[in-house]
With several copies, the nearest count.
Chain A
Amino acid sequence: GGQKAEAPDESPGEPVVETSEVILASTTSTEDSGLFGEIIPAFEEAYPQYKVSVVAVGTGQALEIGRNKDADVLLVHAKSDEEEFVAEGYGIERRDVMYNDFIIVGPESDPAGIKGETDAKKAFEAIANGKHLFVSRGDDSGTHKREMSVWKAAGIEPAGDWYNSIGQGMGDTLQFASESEGYTLTDRGTYLSMKGKLDLVIAVEGDPLLLNQYGVIVVTDANNLEGGQAFADWVVSPEAQDVIAKFGVAEFGEPLFVPNAK
């Protein structure tokens, strides 16, 4: 069932392909990375009967949309929440799709002297102790949650003038950090895509603590269950994984995501 929509490239003469809309709720950072520009067309090519509409919002909002069954399938990166979501019965199952990693970026001057550091906890400690400006997304997004878990691991309760929680998207947050010469935790994809416009350099990378796992969830009795299921199945399929592996190489010389579907 589901909402009907015509294929955009429909022209008279050709037999009309009845397509149904699949609503994919994801995060702004994922969309802003441009990934969907690659995989959605590929999927629609493989499954012409489906048309995917991406609704990019905050992670929390995405899950909420899922709970309301306003989306058919989710692609987000907040593992524990995703598992809880499934446990509560809102999602059928959660499958790993890919990962990229978080990095800590900061001003060239690197007042906290953490450049080259590979231990995120140590880096955070340095920032906190030196009360160096730190910008937090503070929007319960996957990125934010990961930042909090790092603080937790470092045993720090971040607060004070140096700690700016701004409740905005990744792009805004990077912008803010760049403008205010602060540190922030970001996913590599967004950072790379904005690098040119920022006065920020990578300070810390490679800590396993900073891996950013993306998962796909089909929403329980979603409006377009078949479509959602089809997308989920496709995105973990070898051909989709292949598309993901290639994405970004052309533009940034390195892939933005590492496919790791089992």
Chain B
Amino acid sequence: MSVLVEAVVTSVRLVLQGSEEFWNVIAVTFEVAIISTIVGVLLGTPMGFLMGATRFRGRRTMIALTNTGMAIPPVVIGLLVMMMLSRKGPLGFLGMLYTVNAMSVAQTFISTPMIAGLTAAAVASIPYKLRLQARSLGASPWQEALLVIKEARLGVVAAVAAGFGAVVRGVGAVMMVGGNIEGKTRVLTTAIVQESRKGEFGTSLAYGIILMTVTFGLNGLITWYQHSSERLGRV
């Protein structure tokens, strides 16, 4: 598989040469991924808590909707966001289309349902009595929610990892609202698509390798954190 070799070589070369161009792609890629993950966490965890740890009418529908949200093709999200941000669209005046911010917005629509849906399942596994115990010690609803999320940490962190993965991998949306503009909105995934379209499989995979390497690094940290609780012994 000469291509694989070529890919590895290219990836190394890209990193070592490190053209401004290249670093810009890296920067934009993770800026967008991290921003949209963080916003996704801020929006998703509360939603997840509501769906997983409380009872209200239409809760199941909300859960089903969220799970469906996990399945919306990025292209569709991209289209919708694009129509919003288009000069003809309601938010056109912002002139945000084909900017990094537009990409972050679109990606947030991808990360949020992911994080919400999986957080819901995680917090639902925390025994209700534990929450009563917290209440009985004077925990306010907020503090109780915080505790539950801390207790469900393993699952919640996995949810975040999945959300991060979804935004890192999703290309359709950023392609659509970012435009893959060289030096501006080009990210690793769009570069990968473009290269493979050009038949530059080696380069395409090279970008893939770089993306995966960085992601692996980040996941290493996450896993380390996620399981740091294990020093407390098996429960």
Q: Are B179 and A164 in contact (CB under 8 A)?
A: yes
Q: Are B87 and A167 in contact (CB under 8 A)?
A: no
Alpha-carbon separation in the docked complex, A171 to B179 (Å): 12
Neighbouring A residues of B185 by C-beta, 8 Å = 53
CB contact list, B85-111 vs A, under 8 A: 86-89, 95, 97-99
Minimum Cβ distance to chain B for residue A196 (Å): 9
Residue from the list A53, A170, A194 in contact with B98, Cβ < 8 A: A53
Q: Which of A63-71, A121-129, A225-233, A251-259 forms contacts with chain B?
A: A63-71
Report the interface size for chain B: residues with CB under 8 A from the other chain. Answer: 30
Q: Are A166 and B180 in contact (CB under 8 A)?
A: yes
Asked whether B181 is an interface residue with its Cβ less than 8 Å from the other chain, the reply is yes
Q: Are B184 and A53 in contact (CB under 8 A)?
A: yes
Neighbouring B residues of A198 by C-beta, 8 Å = 199
CB contact list, B32-91 vs A, under 8 A: 82, 86-89
Report the interface size for chain A: residues with CB under 8 A from the other chain. Answer: 46
Asked whether B231 is an interface residue with its Cβ less than 8 Å from the other chain, the reply is no
Q: Are B87 and A165 in contact (CB under 8 A)?
A: no
Minimum Cβ distance to chain B for residue A51 (Å): 9
Q: Are A139 and B197 in contact (CB under 8 A)?
A: yes
Alpha-carbon separation in the docked complex, A55 to B184 (Å): 11
Residue from the list B86, B180, B184, B199 in contact with A167, Cβ < 8 A: B180
Asked whether A32 is an interface residue with its Cβ less than 8 Å from the other chain, the reply is yes
Chain B interface, >50% SS class? loop
Q: Are A179 and B97 in contact (CB under 8 A)?
A: yes
Q: Are A179 and B197 in contact (CB under 8 A)?
A: no
Q: Are B180 and A60 in contact (CB under 8 A)?
A: no
Alpha-carbon separation in the docked complex, A62 to B185 (Å): 17
Neighbouring B residues of A63 by C-beta, 8 Å = 199
Asked whether A172 is an interface residue with its Cβ less than 8 Å from the other chain, the reply is yes
Neighbouring B residues of A210 by C-beta, 8 Å = none
Asked whether A176 is an interface residue with its Cβ less than 8 Å from the other chain, the reply is yes
Asked whether A140 is an interface residue with its Cβ less than 8 Å from the other chain, the reply is yes
Asked whether B196 is an interface residue with its Cβ less than 8 Å from the other chain, the reply is yes
CB contact list, B173-210 vs A, under 8 A: 175-176, 179-186, 190-191, 193-194, 196-201
Asked whether B20 is an interface residue with its Cβ less than 8 Å from the other chain, the reply is yes
Minimum Cβ distance to chain A for residue B226 (Å): 37
Neighbouring A residues of B201 by C-beta, 8 Å = 64, 197
Alpha-carbon separation in the docked complex, A168 to B20 (Å): 22
Minimum Cβ distance to chain A for residue B69 (Å): 25
Q: Are A179 and B98 in contact (CB under 8 A)?
A: yes
Residue from the list A32, A62, A69, A223 in contact with B194, Cβ < 8 A: A32
Asked whether A237 is an interface residue with its Cβ less than 8 Å from the other chain, the reply is no
Q: Are A55 and B87 in contact (CB under 8 A)?
A: no
Footprint of B on A, CB under 8 Å?
Answer: 3, 5, 8, 23, 28, 31-32, 53-58, 60-65, 68-70, 138-141, 164-172, 174-176, 179-180, 190, 193-194, 197-198, 223
Instruction: List 7 A-B pairs, minimum CB-CB distance, nearest first.
Output: A64-B199, A167-B194, A58-B197, A60-B199, A55-B179, A60-B198, A171-B197
A28-B194, A58-B197, A164-B184 given; 13 more Cβ-contact pairs under 8 Å: A32-B197, A58-B196, A58-B199, A61-B197, A61-B198, A68-B89, A140-B197, A140-B199, A141-B197, A168-B179, A170-B197, A176-B179, A179-B97
Footprint of A on B, CB under 8 Å?
Answer: 20, 82, 86-89, 95, 97-99, 175-176, 179-186, 190-191, 193-194, 196-201
